């Protein structure tokens, strides 16, 4: 009997569990590996991902799902165990990034639309067969004084909904990720501008999801937090970020959605944890609010590893720490003192 998307979605985000975004495409891995002086070979990518997936404490206690890039979905650990089995054994759900990247819109300068719908039905069947039970599609929304345009928002929202519907048809939970960028250039926008844009984007996305009959109980939303651009002179403390983010989410996201798992978007590890914690502190929310971080879960682990087999233990300790801190934040139980305890 096939599992229900509602049950899979719930399992991914419950009880302070979050999602490890390890779906960096090969080009993005190159940027990350360049920063630690490691060659971007398949062998190194496999060794690094194995280190993460074998971090028992983090995987068993804090991670409910792992987003993989296609190469990793079909890869094996050094002892021949498929990565999908390692992840399942840790009690987490394996997932797959299925979009083909954000491509520039021909007549809307500075905006992108994410491609990858052609042939997606067939690819989803193959990924299901390989063990993936959720998928991810990321729309990248530019932000400045004039962008995004209504046309840019609509094109991305429409594609997100078409992707989500195809996923649910295949028995796969869609993670719907409309990312309003915080670290694009120029990133001088204020938190108020991010509030306005995120609100418009989420309303359009949920309108499209509704029109295409997507079951909200069987999806996870992966939004940006409402924050000022990273180069804006006025930065905001966690309480202010939480206030703006929750006010947008409460107005735009139906209570039926199974869960909300934020991206970190270029925030430091500590900022991403503190902001998530502030959102979960004593508020009565209709959905679990958790993390689906890439950089904010991996930055310390990556630099502790540095490509050396002898550093695997140190890298795993760093990953365990971030996973644990974010899991506490997803329950509103994190305190800064715990970082050094
Ligand atoms: C892990 O990075 C994903 C993007 O990979 P590509 O740019 O190579 O396609 C990204 O979608 C990620 O899942 C989310 O943005 C969350 O990652 P951050 O680092 O923003 O938390």
Domain boundaries, the chain: 5-340
Distance separating alpha carbons of residues 306 and 33, to the nearest angstrom: 8
Is there an atom of ligand 1 within 6 Å of 23 CB?
yes
Span from the CA of 54 to the centroid of ligand 1 (angstroms): 21
Residue nearest to atom 4 of ligand 1 (CA): 24
222 is catalytic: yes
What number of other Cβ atoms are within 10 A of residue 56's Cβ? Answer: 12
Q: Please report, in tens digits, the pLDDT of each residue of the chain (341 residues total).
A: 469 999 999 999 999 999 999 999 999 999 999 999 999 999 999 999 999 999 999 999 999 999 999 999 999 999 999 999 999 999 999 999 999 999 999 999 999 999 999 999 999 999 999 999 999 999 999 999 999 999 999 999 999 999 999 999 999 999 999 999 998 878 889 999 999 999 999 999 999 999 999 999 999 999 999 999 999 999 999 999 999 999 999 999 999 999 999 999 999 999 999 999 999 998 789 999 999 999 999 999 999 999 999 999 999 999 999 999 999 999 999 999 999 87
Is there an atom of ligand 1 within 6 Å of 294 CB?
yes
Sequence-ordered list of residues with C-beta below 8 angstroms from that of 131, at least 6 positions apart, any chain: 73, 82, 84, 85, 88, 94
Is there an atom of ligand 1 within 6 Å of 28 CB?
yes
CATH 3.20.20.70 fits 5-340, yes or no: yes
Span from the CA of 268 to the centroid of ligand 1 (angstroms): 14
- Strand-pairing partners, residue 85, are none
Q: How much is the pTM?
A: 0.97
In contact, 48 and 297? CB cutoff 8 Å = no
Counting ligand 1 atoms within 8 A of each CB, the residue from 21, 114, 140, 260 with the most, and so the one to mutate, is 21
Q: 235 vs 167, 196, 229, 269, 306, CA distance in Å? A: 38, 17, 8, 16, 31
339 is catalytic: no
Considering Cα of 33, then 266, then 153, then 212, what sign does the dihedral take?
A: positive
Give the number of residues written for the chain: 341
Is there an atom of ligand 1 within 6 Å of 269 CB?
no
pLDDT for residue 2: 63
Considering Cα of 260, then 265, then 269, then 270, what sign does the dihedral take?
A: negative
In contact, 110 and 146? CB cutoff 8 Å = no
């Amino acid at each position: 009997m096939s599992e229900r998307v509602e049950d899979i979605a719930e399992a991914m985000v419950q009880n302070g569990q979050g999602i490890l975004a390890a779906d960096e495409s090969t080009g993005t891995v190159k940027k990350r590996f360049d920063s630690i002086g490691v060659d971007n070979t398949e062998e190194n990518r496999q060794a690094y991902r194995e280190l993460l997936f074998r971090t028992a404490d983090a995987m068993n206690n804090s991670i409910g799902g792992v987003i993989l890039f296609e190469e990793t979905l079909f890869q094996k650990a050094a002892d021949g165990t498929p990565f999908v089995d390692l992840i399942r054994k840790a009690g987490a759900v394996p997932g797959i990034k299925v979009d083909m990247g954000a491509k520039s819109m021909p007549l809307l300068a500075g905006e992108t639309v994410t491609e990858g719908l052609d042939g997606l039905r067939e690819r989803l069947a193959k990924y299901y067969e390989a063990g993936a039970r959720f998928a991810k599609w990321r729309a990248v929304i530019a932000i400045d004084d004039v962008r995004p345009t209504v046309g840019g928002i609509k094109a991305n929202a429409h594609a997100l909904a078409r992707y989500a519907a195809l996923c649910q048809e295949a028995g796969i939970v869609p993670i719907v990720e409309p990312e309003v960028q915080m670290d694009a250039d120029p990133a001088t926008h204020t938190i108020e501008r991010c509030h306005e844009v995120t609100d418009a984007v989420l309303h359009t996305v949920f309108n499209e999801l509704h029109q295409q009959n997507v079951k909200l109980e069987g999806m996870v939303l992966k939004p940006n937090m409402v924050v000022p651009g990273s180069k804006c002179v006025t930065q905001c403390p966690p309480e202010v970020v939480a206030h703006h983010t929750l006010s947008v989410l409460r107005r735009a996201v139906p209570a039926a959605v199974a869960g909300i798992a934020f991206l970190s978007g270029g925030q430091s590890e500590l900022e991403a944890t503190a902001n998530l914690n502030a959102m979960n502190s004593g508020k009565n929310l209709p959905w679990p609010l958790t993390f689906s971080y890439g950089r904010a879960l991996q930055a310390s682990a990556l630099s502790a590893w540095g490509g050396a087999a002898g550093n695997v233990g140190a890298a795993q300790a760093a990953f365990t720490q971030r996973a644990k801190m974010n899991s506490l934040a997803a329950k509103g139980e994190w305190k800064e003192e715990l970082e050094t305890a």
